[in-house]
Amino acid sequence: MTVRSVEAVWPGEWVTSRLGVRLVDGERPVGAGLASMVGLAVRRNPRRAHLLVSAVLGKHVPTDPRLVYGSGLLLGELVRARLRDEVTSVPSGSFKDALAGVPGAAAALRDALREPRPAVDAVVLGYAETATALGHSVADALGGAYYLHSTRRPVRGFATYGGFEEEHSHATSHLLLPSDPAALDRDVPVVLVDDELSTGQTVLNTIEALHALRPRRHYVLAALVDLRGESDRARVDELAARLGTRIDAVSLAGGRVELPTGVLEKGTQIVSELSAASASEVEDGAFGVARVRLDWPRGVPDGGRHGFLPEHRTALEKDLPRMADAVAAELGDGASRVLVLGFEELMYAPLRLAEALADASPGLDVRYSTTTRSPVLAVDDPGYAIRTRLAFPAHDDPADGPGERYAYNVAPAAGRPPFDRIVFVVDDVGDTQGLTDGLLARLRALAPVVVVTVPSHGGDR
């Protein structure tokens, strides 16, 4: 069985040496330091020069899906402890071993965290696009939670419950589109999940918007990494006092990012100098494309865009082995290194399929990541977190108009083994001719592609 190799070079050294960005360790609630959780890259964004690239999120870096899901469940355990005012009893060594790629450690961590626990009622909100599966995993860990993620895709027939802005994002508008607003509009704790807390302003905006609609007594902020400073934390306390509520925060690792003077100008200059060479030159064509009919379980949403209930998870998990077997049968003989690639906000369904595929096929090295709207500079250097970039046109008729989309670290970097199969999981809204002519043409140049289309819950309303 192939396991994740340990990087000889921290995938943030390139940015540290050229931009002067430094990570400083803080709290280690589960034993992992900040640098083991993230690498660094340079954004193509004049509002923020650097990007923290998570080693466990499964967005920009192809990752063992059991580590991705286990990390989300672990964060959920910290949330559970805070909601119940209990002490967390998760052994720190298991997570550190999983991060280090110790054989079997990621699956063991995931399995330990899936042991039955008392269900906790809460509303869990995940942020699009990066934290849609992370938030869903936190909700899974709580057992009794209602899950909803924000979206940038307006859907006909669904009224907007609320909206808010993300301060440093290149695309700021978030919508909440629950199919059943009553499931959201309850006086139970609200858990807000993102991959990182930088200043915390986005979650404060969310709490203010939600509290104005329905006051709640308890909010929990949950993130993989918490980078807030003292003034940021003070703003949370001030908001809690003003609203007359309780606001807690949990994370897998804490610390801070130190930014030198002029970092935005330096970042812009680096992007300008290196952009021409950063795109991976991949010709279209070569390998074939196959399609798998999954028979997605009836009544189960494809994710949390319109809400996801515990009974939905039960039904999905019953059918996951069957669906993974259907995908495995289409991979053919000779498959050894397989990427399951999700589609922007559609992260949870591909994650669980990838996890089930890895469990059912111990001879396969299965990795998981997703496409993204986020423009990031690619530099093929071991000390840089985004080594290759595929660019392609949006293929789901986005409400904000056509634009470029990206898949990072899918094309092989120098000295790294390629994927010999790629499974692309997309909802039916994104399964268009634009997909065939764009992303699929790029992926077909790298390896045989298997397309898995899931029904978009509410897409036909």
What mean pLDDT is predicted for residues 365-391?
Answer: 96
Closest CA to 77 of 66, 92, 96: 92
**pLDDT tens for residues 211-227?**
999 999 999 999 999 99
Q: According to the model, what pLDDT value does residue 164 have?
A: 54
Are β-strands 38-42 and 50-54 bridged in parallel, bridged antiparallel, or unpaired? antiparallel
Interacting residues of 195 by C-beta distance below 8 A, sequence separation 6+:
54, 57, 59, 127, 130, 131, 134, 223, 224, 225
DSSP for 76-138 reads: HHHHHHHHTT------HHHHHHHHTT-TTHHHHHHHHHTS----B--EEEE-TTTTHHHHHHH
Q: According to the model, what pLDDT value does residue 459 have?
A: 40
Is residue 364 within 8 A of residue 358, CB to CB? The reply is: yes
Question: What is the rounded average pLDDT for all residues in the chain?
Answer: 91
What is the percent of the chain where pLDDT is above 90?
78
pLDDT band at 34, cuts 50/70/90? very high
pLDDT at 3 over 60: no
- The whole-angstrom separation of Cα 212 and Cα 60 is 35
pLDDT band at 68, cuts 50/70/90? very high
**pLDDT tens for residues 192-202?**
999 999 999 98
Closest CA to 436 of 427, 446, 444: 444
- Residue 305 has which token pair? 């865009």
What mean pLDDT is predicted for residues 67-74?
Answer: 97
- The whole-angstrom separation of Cα 133 and Cα 149 is 9
- The whole-angstrom separation of Cα 415 and Cα 4 is 15
**pLDDT tens for residues 148-157?**
999 988 888 8
Q: According to the model, what pLDDT value does residue 283 have?
A: 67
Q: According to the model, what pLDDT value does residue 169 have?
A: 46
DSSP for 161-207 reads: -EEEE-TT-SS-EEEE--S-HHHHSSSS-EEEEEEEESS-HHHHHHH
How big is the CA angle at 50 (ends 133 and 124), to the nearest 5 degrees?
A: 25
Q: According to the model, what pLDDT value does residue 58 have?
A: 97
Residue 27 zone, left/alpha/beta (φ > 0; ψ -120 to 50; rest): beta
- pTM strictly above 0.75: yes
Closest CA to 358 of 324, 329, 322, 315: 324
pLDDT at 278 over 60: no
Q: According to the model, what pLDDT value does residue 6 have?
A: 43
DSSP for 208-273 reads: HHHHHHS--SEEEEEEEEE---HHHHHHHHHHHHHHT-EEEEEEEEEEEEE--TTHHHHHHHHHHH
370 forms bridges with which residues in the sheet? 342
Please report, for residues 74, 81, 225, 296, the alpha-carbon distance to residue 28 in angstroms, rounded to integers and kept in the order given: 13, 16, 10, 40
- The whole-angstrom separation of Cα 267 and Cα 47 is 10
